[in-house]
Chain A
Amino acid sequence: MNALAPHWDRDPILKVDHLSMRFGGLVAVGDVTFRAGRGEVTAVIGPNGAGKTTVFNCITGFYKPSTGRLALMHGGPASDDELDALTTGGLAWSRTVNGATYLLERLPDHKVSARAKVARTFQNIRLFSGMTVLENLLVAQHMSLTQAGLLNPAALFNLPSWRRQQKEAVEHALYWLERIHLTARADDPAGDLPYGDQRRLEIARAMCTRPALLCLDEPAAGLNPRESAELNALLLGIRKDHQTSILLIEHDMSVVMEISDHVVVLEYGRKIADGTPEAVRNDPKVIASYLGVEDEAEAEAEMGAPA
C-alpha cells in the first residue's frame, strides 16, 4: 500500500467489508465498507435512521450481520492473504504476523468484548444504576478478575493473592474515576449521578475493560456545551494515553469536527462519504443529505460526487 494512502487504509484496526444487515425486507445497512484507523478517532455520522447504530450493533456482536466481514486486528494490520485464509478457514480468529485478527461477525457478543477487546457504550445509558460507581467499574473488570475461573478458590477464601488482585482492580477503577473527575462520588449509586456524569462513567466503565477499540454511541447526546467540551478532552486523552482507537456515532458536529481524524457518512444504510473532517464537510452529497437541497442541485451533487 502506498505511503500517500490515508492512515486508516495503511494501518486499520477495524476493516468493515460489504456489511449488510437486513431485517426481513428492510435493508438497514447495505454494503457498507470502511476502515477505522489504529489510534484514530473515527466518527460515523448520518441523519436519523441512516443505520449507524445498526453498524455499531453488528460490530459489537449484538446483531449478526446478514452479509459482510468485520475484521478487528490487534497489534498491527493483517495482510490480505492472512485475512483471506481466516475468512475461508471458518475460524473466528487467528494469530497473524503482527498480532491477532478477529472476525467479529463470528463471535458471540460477550466474546467480542472479552476476546476481541471491543468495548461499547449505549445511546440510552445502561449503567448498573443500583450499584455504586466503584462497583460499576469493578464489574467491568470481570474478565481480568475471573481469569482463574468464576469460582476461583483464592477469591472464595479471600487469600492474599486474591486481595492483591482485587486491590489492583480497585486502583485501576480509581484511576478512571480520577480521569472523569468522579472520585468524590465513588460510593454513590450510579443512578444518582447527574446525566453528564453518567455519560462519562459509562465511558470509564467501557475503558476499564482495557479495550483495543472503544465504540461510543452518541456520547454527547444531551450534554450541554461545557460537558461536551469535557467529553472532547476525555476522548482525546484516551486516544493519546491509552492507544485506544475510538469509533463514535455522533450528531453533535462540534464534537465530530473537533476530535475525529476520519469521518464516515451514512445515509439510508449506504455510505455516501468517507474522509477527513474537512473533506466530508465540503462534500456536496453530505451537505445535500444534511441540509437538503433543490432537486436539481441534488442530482448535480450525485453526478459530480467522486465515486
Chain B
Amino acid sequence: MAAPHASDLWEDDDKAPQVTIPPVAPTPREAALLPALKDAVASGIITGLLLLPLVGFRATESGSGPLTLTYRFGLVAVLAAVVAGLRLVLNLTVWHPDRRRAGKSSSPLAIRLRAGVAPLLKPAFFALALAYPFLAILLSGGLSPSRYWVDLGIYILTYVMLGWGLNIVVGLAGLLDLGYVAFYAVGAYTFALLSTSVPLNAFFDAHVAEGFWASWSFWVCLPVAGILAGLWGVILGFPVLRLRGDYLAIVTLAFGEIIRLVLINWVSLTNGGAGISSIPPVTFFGMSFDRDDTGFAAVFGLSFSPMHRMIFLYFIILGLAALTALATIRLRQMPVGRAWEALREDEIACRSLGINTTLTKLTAFATGAMFGGFAGAFFAVRVRFVSPESFTFMESAVILAIVVLGGMGSQMGVAAAAVLLIGGMEMLRNLTFLKSDFLFGSDFDPALYRMLIFGFAMVAVMVWRPRGLVATRMPTIFFKTRRAVSGSLVKEGHG
C-alpha cells in the first residue's frame, strides 16, 4: 500500500505538516574576504590578458620610416590593477552578501548629527563663498597667483546663478526650457550695446558729467538688462506656453537658436559674428580700478593690482547669486511660488482652483529670464567682449544639466551641482599625472577627454541618484514640524 500523501495527512490532522529547516550556520564576516580576493585577482588577470594585445603593443610610424613596435606593459598592469582593486572594493562593500540596505536604518548618532548640521549647512556655504577669494590669496601665496582661482570662482558662481534662475522655470514651475541661454544673451547684449552706445555716451557727457556713462553704465544697465530679458521672457512665453512637455522644450530650443542667429545676422546692430568689444570695465560704484590717482587702489591706499577688479567682480556675482537665491526663497513662500509648484504637480487641478495658469507660467518664465539677464550683463562686464559664440545651445544644456543634476527645485543641490560640474570640468584640465610615461604618454591631453569623463560622471550620478543630488522637497510652510517631502512623490511637471 502506498504511503499516504502529505496533504492527506494534513487534512486529517487539520495541521500544517512539520517542515524541518536545517539550521544555517552563521557566516563570519571574514569568510567573504577570501572569495572577494580570489574574484578580484581573477578579474585582474583576465583584464590584463585581454588588454595585452589591445593596449600592450603599439605600432608607431616614425615619419616615412618603418613601423616600430613599442611596448606598454606598464599601462596594462596599471589598468589590470585598477580593475582588480575596484572589483575588490565593490565585493567588500556594495556586493557584500551581508551588507545591510543603506538608508532605512541609520544609527541614531547619524540622525542627530544630520539634524544638528543641516541648519548650519547653508550659512557655512555662504561664509565659505564670502571668504573664498581671501582663502585663494592666502593659499596661493599672493594676489597675482590667486588670479586663476578667483577667476574659477567667478566662473562657477555665474553658473550657480544661472542654475538658480533656470531652477525657477524648470524646477519650480516644471516648464522644460531648453533655450535659457537666449535670456543670458539678451542681458549680455543689452549691457554691451547700451554701454558702447555713442549717442548715450555723448548725452550723459553733456548733461550729467564727463565720463559718467563709461563709469556708471554697468550699474545703470544691470537692472535694464534684467527687465529687458524678463520682457523677452513674456514675449516668448505668450505664444509658447500653451504648448506642453516636449513641444515646449522644442520651441524654447528653437527660440534660443533664433536669438543667436539674429545676433549673428543683424550686423548693423550687433556687429555680427565679430561681436562687440571695448565694453567699459566694471567700476567700484563710479570709481575705476585704474592705476591713476582717482582709482580704487589709490583712494583706499592700496598698491595697485589688477586683481582688485577681479575680486570685486567675484563679490558682484556672489551678490547677484545671493539675490537670486533670496528672491526664490521668498517667492516660494508667496502664493505665486506655491502656484508654480502646484502647476508642476497638476495643472488641471490648478485651473479648478481658479489659478490663471497662463499668467502663472508667464511669471515663472519672466522671473527666470530676468535672473538670466542679470547674469548676462555680468558676463559682458567680466569678459568685456560679447559675441554670439558665447550663447550656443551647449550653454543651455550645461545649465539644464546643473538643474537636473542638482535635483529639481533644490537650491543647495543646484549650487552643489554647479560646483561639481563647472569646477570638476575645470579640474579635469589639470590631471597632469595622466601624462606620465607609464600611463598615456606626454602627448596625451586630458582636457580632450573631459567631456567624456564628464558624461560618465553624469550617467553615474543619474544611476545612483535619479532625482538629482538633493532629491527631497522642503515644504514652504508648516503647522508643527517641517519635514522634507520624498522626491518620489514630487512630480517633474509636463510643461
Contact = CB atoms under 8 A, between A and B. Distances in A.
A122 B489 contact: no
A131 B478 contact: no
Interface in A120-165: 120, 122, 126-132, 134-135, 138-143, 145-146, 150-152, 155-156, 158
A155 B336 CA distance: 10
A191 B344 CA distance: 14
B479 A156 contact: no
B491 A129 contact: yes
B408 to A, nearest CB: 11
A240 interface: no
B359 A142 contact: no
B353 A150 contact: no
A174 B336 CA distance: 21
Contacts, number: 135
B478 A138 contact: no
Contacts of A189: 485-486, 489
A134 B335 CA distance: 13
Interface string A273-300: 0000000000000000000000000000
Nearest to A183: B479
Interface stretch (B42-50, B114-122, B469-477): B469-477
A129 B349 CA distance: 11
Given A129-B491, A132-B475, A186-B480, A113 B351 contact: yes
A43 interface: no
Interface string B318-349: 00000000000011001110110110111011
Interface in B458-482: 473, 475-482
B356 interface: yes
Contact of A140 (B331, B353, B357, B479): B353
Nearest to A192: B489
A156 B337 CA distance: 11
Interface residues of A, number: 47
A135 B355 contact: no
Contacts of A115: 354
A119 B363 contact: no
Interface residues of B, number: 40
A254 B333 CA distance: 42
A187 interface: yes
B335 A146 contact: yes
B472 to A, nearest CB: 10
Given A142-B339, A142-B355, A187 B363 contact: no
A110 interface: yes
B294 to A, nearest CB: 37
Contact of A113 (B342, B353, B485): B353
Contacts of B477: 132, 134-135, 138, 170
A262 interface: no
A130 B473 CA distance: 8
B480 A142 contact: no
A187 B359 contact: no
Given A150-B336, A156-B334, A205 B348 contact: no
Nearest to A169: B335
Contacts of A155: 334-335
B339 A139 contact: yes
Contacts of A111: 354
Interface in B212-226: none
A141 B336 CA distance: 11
A200 to B, nearest CB: 16
B334 A132 contact: no
B483 interface: yes
A187 B478 CA distance: 6
A152 B334 contact: yes
A187 B482 contact: yes
B353 A209 contact: yes
B490 interface: yes
A131 B336 contact: no
Contact of B345 (A129, A170, A209): A129
Interface in A82-135: 109-111, 113-115, 119-120, 122, 126-132, 134-135
Nearest to B358: A110
5 contacts: A122-B348, A122-B349, A129-B345, A138-B338, A189-B489
Given A110-B356, A138-B335, A170-B477, 10 more contacts: A110-B355, A128-B345, A130-B344, A134-B477, A138-B477, A139-B353, A150-B335, A151-B334, A151-B336, A189-B485
Interface of A: 60-62, 109-111, 113-115, 119-120, 122, 126-132, 134-135, 138-143, 145-146, 150-152, 155-156, 158, 170, 174, 183, 186-189, 191-192, 205-206, 209
Cβ-closest 7 pairs across A and B? A130-B490, A114-B354, A113-B354, A128-B345, A186-B479, A191-B489, A126-B349
